[in-house]
Structure 1
């Protein structure tokens, strides 16, 4: 077939006049021409090298830097030791009290009396953690000798004399009822009066005099035993210690006293405030009154706690609006406040009570001088003019008649403040937790020392246990090295305090327990650790996901694509 003239043969339509297979051959040639050319090996390895370099930067550099900069440092803590302290497995507190006996009789008779009294005392004691140990002092050696022999043959060193809880002095008399005793109010001394025929014979195993002394000693330290037994029974981790059973009335009274008293602190801040609804009185002789009536009491507490004192005067101080106004009582011939209104007597919104200064708690003592138109002002139920506010302070209403004035005085002298100072002293004693018996103030202070030492020991041990539980429960919080150091110091001072209790050195036990309590509180309330408690893991996910998502998706998809390509080249698909 000929091609028309002027027409290019290459552009002419193709008419298939060949066999049947010519059409499929042309279709396969056209398809092969549409596929891209194979990628050069140099370009393929370059792309893979780029992807691999990104992954290497992420894995080798990015992840370690992220891990290092975001890792939470947690110092190692002795968790098992901390838990053992909290469970009471390390220290079983005991309170051995040394009772010195001074008997102006023959040495052999004195030793026999002490042994007989010790047996009678052991029979009365039902609290093994608190026991009294009698020691015999030799009066001729007391002024100059540095050592004294006790009945069991041991030596009483000069330094141990400071740890004697009570001195029993035997005084021979010929008149009056015997045996009888007298406890010195301002000295830890018990005078026992007896006659010569009341001494036990060398062959006897008991005597009325020994029994009398044993009962007197047991009675003197009965409240201390009850307080320590109550403390052991109510403190977690100390319940495993052997304790005496308390009656329901005794337990209720001890609980009432514990809820009324302030928590122990090395330093208390005392604030004495004068409030008046008018412009009178405008001044008071408070410094002299504090020096004469309160300073001796504060000095006696120096071995337990320290005190700072400040005063203030606030005029035109009105009652709280929420409190019922005073009512006149015809029977008492006085204005009265109802007992249920006493809690709202302090107008905290307008009366500028001094806030806490320093680390110690503030104890407030308010002296209120009512207006002459509402004087005298008393409590309706009991006719009193003072009351105690648990764990806060005390209030005293000084009526002009109490100040020996016919009208409201402009100045309160020291003598006029005497009733208020005596009331404040009693209230302070109650707030500090001083026992009510025995009648000797030094003995009550020594009892308070032992109770405070034991309570601080239990409190610090409990704080260690709480910190150990927090460490295990929250692995995401940081624990700096200072926490570990505080824990080590706490454990060390707790051990010293426990050893001091066993040895009868109660003042040293109080000092060590005080340090242990402070270090335990410091470790538990570490700022950097407490702040992370409120930053859970969900917050971290919410922060990291928007940042890492756009970067991670392309890298992961590119990596998967290359892995698929490499897998396909190594294991090619077989055509059917």
Structure 2
């Protein structure tokens, strides 16, 4: 009996030992090794970013030239004034524009620059005296009788970040300084709407995040024409020669790019990186049959048929498959001798002066006619040197539109200086940087919040440490970009916004997110139960036997006491 009792006790201890190992070691180990790894994410900060609060701050310096203020008024000039404009957008986005205006009188050297009779020379001289930081403006108020501006011009906008504003007539003792500043404020606001960010541009930059109202149709159309913000762009210039037997074409594309395109791309360096390629394609047709117009004595392409030109040509263009950057295509098409000259007509059946058109978010096409070179006795092929100045002038204008340099019609009384050899004025670059910064912030915020919602809804998606680092980097860059916009540091804000959109896209498109997306918990239990059930069933039966034996002994003891 003693031996049987010992064996029974030993079997109980063995069953309990196996049960303890399974319960306290096996099950936690199995649960740990089969649980989807999910690194920590800054969810609370992402939720705060979901309610995007944009505060754009611009510094404006108003400089009074001699003759615009009296001596008494000059002593009372306020140092700084801050003006906020709040715009209600929707429940998730708020916009506030802050203008910090500083007032001062012109220095002696600035007065010498303002005493010239050429506004362009004055603009250059003022730029060399005090170069304004990125995103800021300087408005020089000149006397009403000044000959620096034509009589019908009230505001001159230069190539830099300066503007000349004709002040109102000033008579000593007639107007107080407060009245002068109050009368000047609407004029300064008009200058800001031309040279700095505008509400329409910012709303268009926000894209699908907000609904553009009826008053923003033009900005919406401009934003749909331009390429979306990207860290880099690939520009390809293509020469299409449909009939090499008729003419041999020569174009100095390398020299033309260096002379006309590269200055603009160098100035756009803070916005994005650019790569430029060129190619010549023989026997390439437009794919649309031109019609002969007897009244014009030329072949024509109607505006309705231009949309059908892109697809046949695009199949032969090609691009760098190793790059994910958007491609901007610029095509120079030289018609063959049988369809020359060829003119492009607008919707009113008028010939387009540039003989070119552009396709939104794709590129541009220009038709280059050489009909004057053909004759009955002209030996073929005819050697033709293409006028690259004419061609690049058209492509440069199209490139500005496709990159988001929005054309702005100046208000009455404004005279805007041409952008110069760089093809882009400093204040135009600032407007583009404002829009790109806001667009990058809105896109990165949408990407990060969408990723956080996706990870919260699907618990089987793996969140590895690399994704967590990218998400944290994106959140940190977004916070810094918003802070720099608020401080008016446009250059830093754009840089941080670019880092944010890169980090957010790397996290969102990480391939590891799909590893366990189609391996839910029910499949996990279906796989492991057939393995664990044969092992756990004997242990469970032994535990039930031990519990039954313990209850029986407890009843026997209770019966003896009774």
Normalised TM-score (structure 1):
0.74
Contact 1:283/1:410, CA 8 A, preserved across alignment: no
Change beyond 3 A, Cα 1:562–1:124 = closer
Contact 2:334/2:368, CA 8 A, preserved across alignment: yes
Structure 1 position 435, deviation (Å): 2.1
Residue 386, structure 1, aligned to residue 353, structure 2: no
Residue 140 (structure 1) aligns with: 108
Contact 2:333/2:367, CA 8 A, preserved across alignment: yes
Rg larger in structure = 1
Which whole-Å CA distance do the structure 1 matches of 2:185 and 2:527 have between them? 73
Q: 1:191 aligns with which of 140, 143, 164?
A: 164
- Structure 1, unpaired ranges of 5+: 1-36, 144-157, 240-245
Contact 1:460/1:517, CA 8 A, preserved across alignment: yes
User: 1:20-99 maps to which residues of 2 (within 5 A)?
Assistant: 40-88=4-52, 91-99=53-61
Contact 2:15/2:542, CA 8 A, preserved across alignment: yes
- Aligned pair count reads 505
Residue 20 (structure 1) aligns with: none
| Deviations 1:356-386 (CA, angstroms, capped at 9, x unpaired) | 5535322121222222212233335443432
Residue 351 (structure 1) aligns with: 316
Residue 165 (structure 1) aligns with: 137
Which whole-Å CA distance do the structure 1 matches of 2:162 and 2:493 have between them? 23
Change beyond 3 A, Cα 1:522–1:459 = same
Structure 1 position 47, deviation (Å): 4.5
Residue 121 (structure 2) aligns with: none
Which whole-Å CA distance do the structure 1 matches of 2:428 and 2:543 have between them? 81
Residue 390 (structure 2) aligns with: 419
Contact 1:436/1:444, CA 8 A, preserved across alignment: no
Change beyond 3 A, Cα 1:228–1:418 = closer
Contact 1:116/1:206, CA 8 A, preserved across alignment: no
- Structure 2, unpaired ranges of 5+: 88-94, 112-129, 411-415, 418-424
Which whole-Å CA distance do the structure 2 matches of 1:431 and 1:51 have between them? 77
Change beyond 3 A, Cα 1:57–1:230 = same
Structure 1 position 392, deviation (Å): 1.6
| Farther-moved stretch of structure 1 (455-464 vs 261-270) | 455-464
Residue 253 (structure 1) aligns with: 218
Change beyond 3 A, Cα 1:475–1:367 = same
Residue 11 (structure 1) aligns with: none
Structure 1 position 304, deviation (Å): 2.2
Contact 2:79/2:103, CA 8 A, preserved across alignment: no
Which whole-Å CA distance do the structure 1 matches of 2:225 and 2:110 have between them? 43
Change beyond 3 A, Cα 1:477–1:538 = same
Which whole-Å CA distance do the structure 2 matches of 1:319 and 1:229 have between them? 37
Residue 317 (structure 1) aligns with: 284
Residue 506 (structure 2) aligns with: 522
Contact 1:199/1:207, CA 8 A, preserved across alignment: no
Which whole-Å CA distance do the structure 2 matches of 1:352 and 1:232 have between them? 30
Structure 1 position 310, deviation (Å): 0.8
Residue 306 (structure 1) aligns with: 273
Normalised TM-score (structure 2):
0.76
Change beyond 3 A, Cα 1:420–1:464 = same
Contact 2:204/2:219, CA 8 A, preserved across alignment: no
| Deviations 1:220-259 (CA, angstroms, capped at 9, x unpaired) | 33353232552588674x89xxxxxx972x4111111111
Change beyond 3 A, Cα 1:229–1:273 = closer
Secondary structure at the aligned position of 1:475 is classed as coil
Q: 2:327 aligns with which of 358, 362, 365?
A: 362
